[in-house]
Amino acid sequence: MSDYIIHTETDRLKATIVSTRVRLRYPSYLSLMVTEKGSKLKLIGSSTKFEMKIAGLKSTVAGLYLAPHTLAGMGINMCPMAGACVKSCLTYSGRLPLQHKYQVLKTRAFIAYPVEFLEQLIMEIKLKAFEAHLEGYTLFVRLDGTSDNRWERYLDFDKMTEEIQGLGGFYDYTKFPLSARRPSDSYHLTYSVDEQRGSELRAREYDEAGYPFAVVATKEDYKMLIKQEGITDGDESDFRWRDTGLVVLKAKNLFKSKEHKGKGKYKRDGKGLVRTAKQILKMLRVQA
């Protein structure tokens, strides 16, 4: 058994009603982790989109995409802090909807059989990191591609990053307050500002701790804002590893979800997830 896994937490997860419910329906880890054609499901994939050079270091990113919020059913909620974003989640864009059935299976596998899931995840990370190392790259892993799970409770990221050759670390976006998370030198977090009460205060806490916070702007405001000093263009890449301060994201692919039949559309900026340029610039001043 891998000593990267924090077993007190996997035991705690297995003891929950939701985990037991999933195990009753699926009698083994393997019964969840197979495709229709009978091949074993992989947990992480890599994307050329993320491949880039940062400060001379060639970096590549692999991501895990679970079923967000309550999409996995059976009482599972992978995004307990989510608000309006459930209707504009990345999981409804691009080709990701084609993966929903597998996202659901992987999520149920994590909830019901966390140790087996994490063992497979560690093995896949080791392989990807080794491949990256052979090609002169450093691998970074994003586990919450489409979820908001507190992975640091289950995995010793510092030990993994120190011991696995070719692995540079982990990074994610989150909506949890900083007090509920444990970012570190090997786990970088970006706070996602949203429409919920207290969100700006939470952003400030992340900022003061040296971690970035991301805000969504309209397409027009985004173009203007990324020219401002002290603002990072969050759409240039989603690799936040070295970022601090204010990150602006464009609302371009958001709110197109067919599943929500347009209900995710925002009426106007400043009401909901999308902030006005004025609100965003005010956050920049708070930061300064």
Q: Which residues bind ligand SF4 (CB under 6 A)?
A: 68-69, 79, 82, 85-86, 89, 146-148, 175
CB of 22 to ligand SF4, least distance (A): 19
CB of 247 to ligand SF4, least distance (A): 15
Choice between 26 and 151, CB closer to ligand SF4 = 151
Which amino acid, 177? P
CA atoms of 203 and 197, how far apart (whole Å): 12
CB of 19 to ligand SF4, least distance (A): 20
Strands (DSSP E) contained in 155-254 are 167-174, 187-192, 213-217, 231-233, 246-250
Choice between 128 and 175, CB closer to ligand SF4 = 175
CB of 78 to ligand SF4, least distance (A): 7
Residues 6+ apart with CB under 8 A from 89: 68, 69, 82, 146, 257
CB of 201 to ligand SF4, least distance (A): 18
Structure-token pair, residue 183: 């970012």
CB of 80 to ligand SF4, least distance (A): 9
Structure-token pair, residue 226: 């990324």
Choice between 132 and 214, CB closer to ligand SF4 = 214
Phi, psi of 80 (to 5 degrees): -65, -20
Choice between 76 and 85, CB closer to ligand SF4 = 85
Torsion angle, alpha carbons of 82, 86, 91, 92, to 10: -170
Choice between 33 and 193, CB closer to ligand SF4 = 193
Classify residue 97 as exposed, middle or buried by CB count within 10 Å of its CB (0-12, 13-18, 19+).
middle
CB of 79 to ligand SF4, least distance (A): 3
Choice between 68 and 169, CB closer to ligand SF4 = 68
CB 132 within 8 A of CB 162: no
Choice between 79 and 193, CB closer to ligand SF4 = 79
CB of 270 to ligand SF4, least distance (A): 19
Structure-token pair, residue 84: 């309006």
| Nearest residue to 204 (alpha-carbon basis) of 238, 244, 166 | 244
Cα 241 to chain centroid distance, Å, stands at 13
Residues 6+ apart with CB under 8 A from 4: 118, 122, 155, 156, 159, 160
Choice between 147 and 232, CB closer to ligand SF4 = 147
